[in-house]
Amino acid sequence: MVVDQNYLEVKIFFISIFVYLISINISFADDLNFKKIVHLNDPWGSTFINSNELLITEKSGKIKLINLNSREVLEINHNLNYLEHGQGGLLDILFKDNFVYISYTENKGDRKTSTSIAKGKFNKKNLIFKNIFQAKPPIDSGYHFGSRLAIDDNHLFASAGERGQGMIAQDPTKHPGSIIRINIDGSIPKDNPKFIDKPDWLPEIYQIGVRNPQGLTLSPFDGKIYMSNHGARGGDWFGEVKKGENYGWKILGWGGKNYSGIPIGPKWKPGFTKAIQYWVPSIATSAITIYKGKEFSEWNGHALITSLKDQSLRKLIFTDLSNVKEKIIFKDKIGRIRDIQVHPNTGKIYFLGGDNLWLMEKS
């Protein structure tokens, strides 16, 4: 009877600890306030053009300007030769110095498409774009376009998915499955890998071996470019963009398997870039940012990772790469999260979640 009583007391103790830990997460989530700003149609990318206006792409082909105060939605005409095909359409968008950069699925005819990047001077009525990059070769596939944009000084970084072609990501004579680095005018930097120690690489390629990278951001703290990437059945990851290196797809599986259930390859092995954080099973990582702002100042320098399938926002403290700390901020509140933006003045966070633009702030 004494043993049973001790067992019961121990069990109650651990249950109470478990309930307490859960309550911490719930109470933290409940300290957040979510507001639905506007309804959209399959939104994909977003960018602030000032403290009150957000430019948004819809995968189906529209570019919209959102006034955050009045919630007015203005549709902007454009001249992009896009094709909405599977996961493709209008993708990421980035505003800088009165120019708009956009990645999109370019229609190359006969159902073939490329992940392309165009640039145009900002105009609220009509955006006239000119291509500054086209991923070659064009491919007949509706899968794995990537594609996010980030600007570091005068360089534009872009992620180009491998279009479901697997080992093409190991072929540096083709763009799909790589990180692209060009100058903001579309010219090629003279210190790209091809001109240093990778003569067989295409001149625009900065890194190879990625699958479907839908997160890319410049850290305002260390000036590095970070990215997130979809694995197959498992094996999503967050890591640093590194010049001339190789993340290993499809030699490496990053902990995932083929959809048939057959193993792909090891999680990592020497000679390939090692990610900072892996998720097995997959959470379907999407857009990322390195937080800097007032509203959640305790998060400054931390990575915020959004997800599609998992519908969560996760925070990573990665100053010590041997001891990366992860916390789920919220889950199942705003649907599949496609994009994340931090307000340049207030530090409040805006999401493209489901078919809506959301604001997250402290209660």
| CATH classification of the domain holding 348 | 2.120.10.30
- 143 and 243 in a single domain? The answer is yes
Residue 146 and residue 158 in contact, taking contact as beta carbons nearer than 8 Å: yes
- 303 and 250 in a single domain? The answer is yes
pLDDT attached to residue 15: 47
Tens digit of pLDDT per residue, the chain (363 long)?
444 555 544 444 444 444 433 433 433 466 999 999 999 999 999 999 999 999 999 999 999 999 999 999 999 999 999 999 999 999 999 999 999 999 999 999 988 999 999 999 999 999 999 999 999 999 999 999 999 999 998 999 999 999 999 999 999 999 999 999 999 999 999 999 999 999 999 999 999 999 999 999 999 999 999 999 999 888 999 999 999 999 999 999 999 988 888 889 999 999 999 999 999 999 999 999 999 999 999 999 999 999 999 999 999 999 999 999 999 999 999 999 999 999 999 999 999 999 999 999 999
What is the rounded CA–CA span in Å between residue 206 and residue 198? 10
What is the rounded CA–CA span in Å between residue 169 and residue 251? 10
Residue 143 and residue 164 in contact, taking contact as beta carbons nearer than 8 Å: yes
DSSP state for residue 242 in the 8-state scheme: -
pLDDT attached to residue 355: 96
- 16 and 44 in a single domain? The answer is no
pLDDT attached to residue 24: 34
Structural domain count of the chain: 2
- 146 and 13 in a single domain? The answer is no
pLDDT attached to residue 316: 98
- For the chain, the 3-state helix, strand and coil shares in percent, each to the nearest 5, are 10, 45, 45
Q: How buried is 261 (Cβ within 10 angstroms: 0-12 exposed, 13-18 middle, 19+ buried)?
A: exposed
Phi first, then psi: give them for residue 270, nearest 5 degrees: -55, 145
- 135 and 10 in a single domain? The answer is no
Enter the tokens of residue 110: 């006969």
Three-class SS of residue 267?
Answer: coil
pTM value is: 0.91
- 186 and 235 in a single domain? The answer is yes
Strands, E, within 30-168: which ranges? Answer: 32-39, 43-48, 53-58, 63-67, 73-78, 90-96, 99-107, 113-121, 126-127, 130-134, 146-152, 155-160
- 112 and 17 in a single domain? The answer is no
- 57 and 75 in a single domain? The answer is yes
Give the chain's count of helices (H) and strands (E): 2, 25
CB atoms near residue 236 (< 10 Å) = 30
- 180 and 197 in a single domain? The answer is yes
- 12 and 104 in a single domain? The answer is no
Helix (H) or strand (E) holding 303: strand 303-307
- 230 and 220 in a single domain? The answer is yes
Residue 363 and residue 28 in contact, taking contact as beta carbons nearer than 8 Å: no
- Side chain identity, residue 332: D
- 41 and 140 in a single domain? The answer is yes
Chain centroid to CA 348: how far? 19
Note down the domain range covering 136. 31-362
pLDDT attached to residue 260: 84
CB burial string 85-121: b at 16+ within 10 A, e below: bebbbbbbbbbeeeebbbbbbbbbeeeebbbbbbbbe
